[in-house]
Amino acid sequence: NAGVTQTPKFQVLKTGQSMTLQCAQDMNHEYMSWYRQDPGMGLRLIHYSVGAGITDQGEVPNGYNVSRSTTEDFPLRLLSAAPSQTSVYFCASSQQGSTDTQYFGPGTRLTVL
């Protein structure tokens, strides 16, 4: 299993541009989440999904959209990039059950100029 994969690894955008960060998992996990991590800080939840077709907002959802058309994929869309969205983005997945152990991808480092 590849686990949780994220593309791209690095991205530079200009203010106002849009883009999609890709996240995929091959573990058949129901739950998937997006976090952002700013320098020197812990991760903050952006959006999450409890299954295909179901998404909800986390702590910092503004400026981001998500959709979950398949179990495997959970893309994160930046509608109009702003410098405040410069961050490292992590995707995670977990299996429904008693442990709720989350598996994280390697991250996407995004810089908005």
Alpha-carbon distance of 2 to 27, in angstroms, equals: 8
- Interface stretch with other proteins, choices 14-22, 27-35, 63-71, 73-81 (CB under 8 A): 27-35
Task: Using the minimum distance from each CB to other proteins, give the nearer residue, 21 or 32.
Answer: 32
Strands 108-112 and 10-13: parallel
Alpha-carbon distance of 86 to 43, in angstroms, equals: 14
Q: Look-up: residue for tokens 């952002």? A: 36
Peptide bond into 39 cis (omega under 30): no
- Which of 13, 23, 24, 43 touches other proteins (CB under 8 A)? 43
DSSP state of 92: E
Residue 104 CB, nearest distance to other proteins (Å)?
3
Residue 12 CB, nearest distance to other proteins (Å)?
17
Q: Does 1 bind other proteins (CB under 8 A)?
A: no
Residue 63 CB, nearest distance to other proteins (Å)?
19
Q: Does 72 bind other proteins (CB under 8 A)?
A: no
User: Cα separations (Å) of 75 from 34, 41, 49, 68, 70?
Assistant: 9, 23, 11, 7, 10
Interface residue list for other proteins (CB under 8 A): 4, 31-33, 35, 41-45, 48-50, 58-59, 88, 90, 92, 94, 96, 98-107
